[in-house]
Every structure is written in C-alpha cells, then in structure tokens.
A and B are shown apart, each in its own frame.
Chain A
C-alpha cells in the first residue's frame, strides 16, 4: 500500500509549458521532501517543506505544503528540457527513520 500517492504517473510537455505534480496522503506528515532522479543516478533532494501552508520557490519550481500537512504539490513554470526526470515525494508518517516515497512522476520536456 502506497502511503503517498503521486499524480500523474507520467507527464509529457513541450518546452515553455507549465506543469503541476501532486503528492497526496490520508496521513499527516511532519514534513515532506521532493526529490528528482535522473537515469542511472540516485534521487537528489530539491526541497523540504515543514509548515502547513508553506510555499517554497526554487527558480522556476514552486513547492506547496497543504494546510493539513497531508498533501503537497510541485509546479514548474516554463519547463525546460533540463527539467526532465522522475520527481518523487517522500516523508515520515510516524516513527523516525521509516521514510516513505511516492511512486514518482516521470516528467519529459521536449524542445
């Protein structure tokens, strides 16, 4: 059972378009993290959101943590081919150490 549900599973867009990836759960998380993974490599942390309602920006990427701390979203403005990758959300729903990951959203940005 996946505690963190990501949608969509796959997203293919043209360069310059915007996109949003969602991460939802029925559980409350003390924090959520977003990672990006490229082929042949391990995931790399993009951001951690901690406070309900928090919005963080990383250049063209905007991350939001839901008020109830059960969901998060990642919005990319004017996507570029370099944004292509597998985006994963992750968090610890209960005991420290048991990190849970969503199944990921594969984003493909074509020139």
Chain B
C-alpha cells in the first residue's frame, strides 16, 4: 500500500531534550516536506526536499533541522525543543511536476513542556 509513515504519533518531551520525528514514503517520490499545523494558522511549511541531499527552508524553519540521505526518508530533528514547538506535525511527499498531489502522513502530535 502506498503510504507516508510518520513516527511516533504522539510525543511528550521536555524543553531542551533533542528529538527526531521520522518520515518514510514507499512511493519513490522525489519531493518531501514537513509542515506544522496550529489552530487558525493552517499548515505552515518547515523544510522541503526536492531530492536526495537537496533541502531548503520553508516559511518557519527556525529551531528545526532535516536531512535527506535516502530518497525514502526525511527525518525532522529538533535539537533543543521549546514549548512554542508544541504542535501537530505532518510529513508529505510528491512527484514532479508541481501540480501533482501531496501525500500526507497521519501526523505527529508533539507536546514540549
């Protein structure tokens, strides 16, 4: 089954404790992206990747890191999480051209205390 898999689904952590949210897709998509979703703000793009070893900042990259060493994986790293990073995070993947659909994972609910 074609899918985007995020782990974990839920995560509660404390300020400053490094964490990684994993994202994996099995559709051989070149494009992958991370979003955070907050009430009233919709989905805001954190980082995106056009292909292996190619990443770029979205609209809200501060406090986040990503890497794209393999085509299927695109982990999101929070080196020193803070409470304002409490949010619902989504990973998405897609093919070119630009008007192809984005396929989303089921989200990771992160709480930073």
Closest to A50 in B: B99
From B50, B98, B100, B105, residue with most partner A Cβ within 10 Å: B98
Q: Do A43 and B106 touch (CB < 8 A)? A: no
Minimum CB–CB distance from A3 to chain B (whole Å) comes to 9
Closest to A48 in B: B99
Contact string, B40-82, partner A, CB cutoff 8 A, digits 1/0? Answer: 1111110010100000101100000000000000000000000
Given A33-B99, A42-B92, A92-B98: A97 touches B48 (CB 8 Å cut-off): yes
Closest to B90 in A: A42
Which residues of A are found within 8 Å of B42, using beta-carbon distances?
2, 6, 88, 101-104
Which residues of B are found within 8 Å of A90, using beta-carbon distances?
43, 102
Q: Within the assembled complex, what's the spacing in Å between the Cα atoms of A43 and B98?
A: 17
